[in-house]
Every structure is written in C-alpha cells, then in structure tokens.
Structure 1
C-alpha cells in the first residue's frame, strides 16, 4: 500500500512538470532547464541520503556501471527529450504519446527481465491506454484521428523510450533509494557538463522563470524520483508503469482547477485508467493450496543476480 501511495504522488508531481515545463521552455532552453534542475537538486539529495540512510558510499560508487546509464537516461535524456518536445508539440500530443509508456515498459520487462505479466497485465495496459485516449479525445474519434505528429512528437517518443528502459534498469539496483537517486543525479550532471560548458546554461531572467525552476527542483526532481525509485523496490516495472497514466488524469484535474469544465469523457477515462491499474496490480488467489509458513518472495527479488 505504501508503494502505491509513492507512485501516485510521483505521477502527481510529474503531471505538474508537464504543466510548468510547457511554460518554462518559453524562457529557458531544454539543456539549461535540465542542468539547473538537477544542479540545485543534487546537494539536498546527497545530504538527505547521508542523514536518512547512512549508505556505504563506496558500495554506491562500485555500482557506477549501472548508475551511470540510469542517470544519463532517467535524469538527463528523459528531461531533454521532454522539454525539447514541449517546444514543438502540443500538450495533447505529448500526453497521448506518454500514454504508450506503460505498454512499452511491459514490453521491455518481458524482453530484458523475462517478465510474465499474464493476461491481467496485458488487459490492464489496454484498459489504461483506452482510458487515457478517451480523456485526450474527449470521446470524439474525429478528434483522436486528427492528431498529427511533428518533430516534437518524435522527441516525446524518445522520452518514453528512455524512461521505459530506465524503469526496467531500476529493478537491478540494490541500494538505498535516496542514495541511488542522488548518485544517478551526480552521474547525469557529469555527463551533461561538457555540453553545458560548450552551449551555455543561463539562469532564468525573471521571477516566473525562477518559480518554475524552483517547482521542478523540489517536486518532479527530488520528490518524484525518490518516490519512484523507492516504489520500484517492491513493485514490478510493468505494474509501476501503469501509474504513469495518472499523469493525464492529474492534468485533466489541473485543467478543472484552472477553470475548465470536466467532461463526462474525462471522468470515464479516469475510471478506466484506475481500473487498468487495479487489474494490473491484482494478484490471483491461489487455489487448492495449503497456507505456507514461508512468506512469498518480494517482487524486488526478481532478477536479483546483480546485487551490490
């Protein structure tokens, strides 16, 4: 239950990243936005990890072969693709493409982790995807068919691809959640440093820009990644991926708070998304099996051959 709360909050903060990011890219380039977002977040993450978890930093550093690509993918490439996408495409198109993320995570988990989601997993993916499409189209097939893909849409395809791979790789991390996140940020900044030096990363020039950057540092950067990585210790990637559909639902709710009316299609779509999540995470009841005094293996034990 705790992992579910973590995943819901993580997606809530990421939904805010979509809304705020669409405004922020009007005054900051994607590279500068990504660089300063993590540059301001890295020290709080390192301090929090040291105080709360007291990790063995040598053991953390020894996992650099895994943490380096994770940082480059989840903290660097994903943010660059997302912010680059929001410069050229609409929020509707970006959210529509993001709806394919859970299905892509399931595919990656099947290929790389030999996961077996079963019919409930695949049905949950399809149900959740249907709900998101219903929310985005407003119940109109013509609206859905009218969507056209441009360079921003292609960048968003890159974003969900790297995120799916990041989520699957996250299952191989056997480190404290905060320390793992902080280390990934350090590696991401190191990888981006040469590009920042060559192309420049100017700070915001106005108050709204600083406010947007502050929100991104506190919530999508620190909050979401800590909660996501903590949840992945007990939740399978395919199940966690279903929660990404909540980004669209939360975006619809944000629209209501901004004065827009919530349509029946959006309400029904939200119900389908929640139903898909429930179906994916529903565990079948064992039949004709005597209770065992030995607890079942935690999902985090899957593929545990790469322990620290």
Structure 2
C-alpha cells in the first residue's frame, strides 16, 4: 500500500471532514426535533433508498455479499450502526467542545488500533505528526486561550465519543482488509450498499429500542426533511465514498490525520452561519493540522 499523498488523494480526504463538520453543525440545529438514535436510522434508511438503484446487484442471490455476510455485518455495525449513533448521543449529553476534542483523538486511536490489532508499525514521523495535528485542534477548541482547556470536565457524552472514535478506527482498518470482497467491488455503490444494507438493520434495531425505552418523538417540518436529505447524501454517501477511496490509497493512519480538520471546518462554518468573525487562531490551527498531515505522510510504516 502506498502512502504518497497526491492532489487527488488530498481532495478525497478533505471532502469527508468538510461534510462531517456540516453534519455536526446541522445535527445541533435539529437535536430537539428528532431523537439521536432515530436520526441515525433515518439518515441511513434514506441513503439506502438513494443507493439502491445504483448498487442493487449486490443484493442478488449470486452476489459475494452473502458469502462475506459476516464481514459486511461487522462493517455495517461499526461504520453505520454504532459510530454516528454514539456521536449523536454524545452531542445530546455533553458539550460540543468536549465532544469535538475527544473526536480529535482519532489519529492516536488509528495508531493504537493498527499497532495492537493489525500489525502496523508506528513511525516517528507519525508520532510527531499526531502531536502537531492535536495541537491544531486544541488551538481551535481553546480559541487560542489555553486556560479554557483546564476548566473542562468529562461527562457521559465524552465516554460515548471515546467509544465512537475507537469504533471508527476499527472500521477504517477493516476497510483495508478483505481484498476484492468476492467480486463485490464492481463499483463504489455496491460496496457502500453492502455495508449500509446490514447497517440500516443494526440502526433500525437500535432506534426501535429507543422508542420502546424512552419518550421519543419527532417534530416534523420541511427544515428537518431537508436536513435528513443532507445527512444521507453528504456525510453518509459522499463522505463514506471519499473516505473509503482515500483510506484505500494511503491507509487508515494517514487518513486519520485529515479527520482533525473537522473541528476547524466546523469553526469556520459556525463563523459563516452565526456571523462570527474568523480569528488569527484559525490560521494557526490550520498550519498545525496541515503540518501534522504532511509530516505523517513522509513515513512508510508497514500496514
């Protein structure tokens, strides 16, 4: 597997954090309209329907999906059923700054999971790159005032986000294993639909439990409907497609550093939508994060 970053690869790996930042901002807006687990199910159910005309062949009896059903059931559980469910739950029970900070530990978990479970070696450049990238995230989250970080307290939502981040690390590493998947990789839609087909079942089961055990309700509106379309098309289909392609090119460890651009994009979106003026610390954070990505890409660890 090559670890050389080309301009097209950079573009592939920039799209997901940009769309995921929009997911966080819009997710906060609709948090009072729809329960978090139900939101995740609706998002992926719509994505399933959109992808069905493009990748329906993967559901046929002769498809390699059924021979590899255990693998795709696991990918669907991790990437579709659990990760965003835990993230939406975290946003309901913790502060945005804490959730974003915990999620920014992604490169560290990519390194740890890869080393412990997938036999990947950790290079010195990656360790320094992880530190630089984390510094950039801390600059964004602290608004350049480090004393703000000292006053933070972890709550249940932070635990949800820690688990979500570890889940995503496993998902990303598993994407690099499995070869041609018994002929499933005829196009990107069939590969993604194979995961969503199982993932929507997982998320549907979780949502059913939410409605059975809580006083869940949905406040329908045209705004919520538009938000659901965005969640399904942008952060789900487009972001997952680009993330999978980017991970396939450079590996999950280097790709994980691009995830740290999410809080930076989220800060810029908040500035645009809330009318806040960008500050100098945004530029400082950008330099730290990009520096970490560039430095990490220079290493050649075995994966």
**What is the SS of the residue equivalent to 2:140?**
helix
Q: How does 1:1-308 map to 2 (within 5 A)?
A: 1=6, 2-49=8-55, 58-175=63-180, 176=185, 177-200=188-211, 204-258=219-273, 259-282=275-298
Of 160-169 and 189-198, the range deviating more from structure 2? 189-198
Q: Given that residues 32 and 202 in structure 1 are in contact (C-alpha distance below 8 angstroms), is that contact kept between their aligned partners in structure 2?
A: no
Cα offset, 1:214, TM superposition: 1.4
Cα offset, 1:134, TM superposition: 1.1
Of 170-179 and 222-231, the range deviating more from structure 2? 170-179
Q: Given that residues 25 and 270 in structure 2 are in contact (C-alpha distance below 8 angstroms), is that contact kept between their aligned partners in structure 1?
A: no
Normalising by structure 2, report the TM-score: 0.87
Cα offset, 1:66, TM superposition: 1.3
Of 116-125 and 185-194, the range deviating more from structure 2? 185-194
**What is the SS of the residue equivalent to 1:87?**
helix
- Take 1:238 and 1:128, find their aligned partners in 2: how far apart are those partners? 13
Structure 2 runs not aligned, ≥5 long: 1-5
Residue by residue over 1:75-122, the C-alpha shift from the partner in whole angstroms, topping out at 9 and shown as x without a partner, is 111111011111122221111111101111111111122112311111
- Take 2:156 and 2:229, find their aligned partners in 1: how far apart are those partners? 28
Normalising by structure 1, report the TM-score: 0.86
- Take 1:195 and 1:234, find their aligned partners in 2: how far apart are those partners? 33
- Take 2:162 and 2:172, find their aligned partners in 1: how far apart are those partners? 16
Q: Given that residues 60 and 179 in structure 1 are in contact (C-alpha distance below 8 angstroms), is that contact kept between their aligned partners in structure 2?
A: no
Answer 1 or 2: higher relative contact order, Cα 8 Å, separation at least 6.
2
In structure 2, relative to structure 1, the CA distance for the partners of 1:257 and 1:197 (3 Å cut) is closer
1:296 matched residue in structure 2: none
Residue by residue over 1:170-194, the C-alpha shift from the partner in whole angstroms, topping out at 9 and shown as x without a partner, is 1114342432221111101222334
Q: CA RMSD in A?
A: 2.3
- Take 1:57 and 1:279, find their aligned partners in 2: how far apart are those partners? 45
Aligned length in residues = 286
Cα offset, 1:135, TM superposition: 1.2
Cα offset, 1:204, TM superposition: 4.9
Residue by residue over 1:154-209, the C-alpha shift from the partner in whole angstroms, topping out at 9 and shown as x without a partner, is 21112111111111111114342432221111101222334444544866511221
Q: Given that residues 256 and 262 in structure 1 are in contact (C-alpha distance below 8 angstroms), is that contact kept between their aligned partners in structure 2?
A: yes
- Take 2:240 and 2:26, find their aligned partners in 1: how far apart are those partners? 17
In structure 2, relative to structure 1, the CA distance for the partners of 1:195 and 1:237 (3 Å cut) is closer
Cα offset, 1:241, TM superposition: 0.4
**What is the SS of the residue equivalent to 1:180?**
helix
- Take 1:32 and 1:260, find their aligned partners in 2: how far apart are those partners? 32
Residue by residue over 1:240-294, the C-alpha shift from the partner in whole angstroms, topping out at 9 and shown as x without a partner, is 100000101111211221211222222101110001001111257xxxxxxxxxx
- Take 2:82 and 2:48, find their aligned partners in 1: how far apart are those partners? 17
- Take 1:203 and 1:153, find their aligned partners in 2: how far apart are those partners? 25
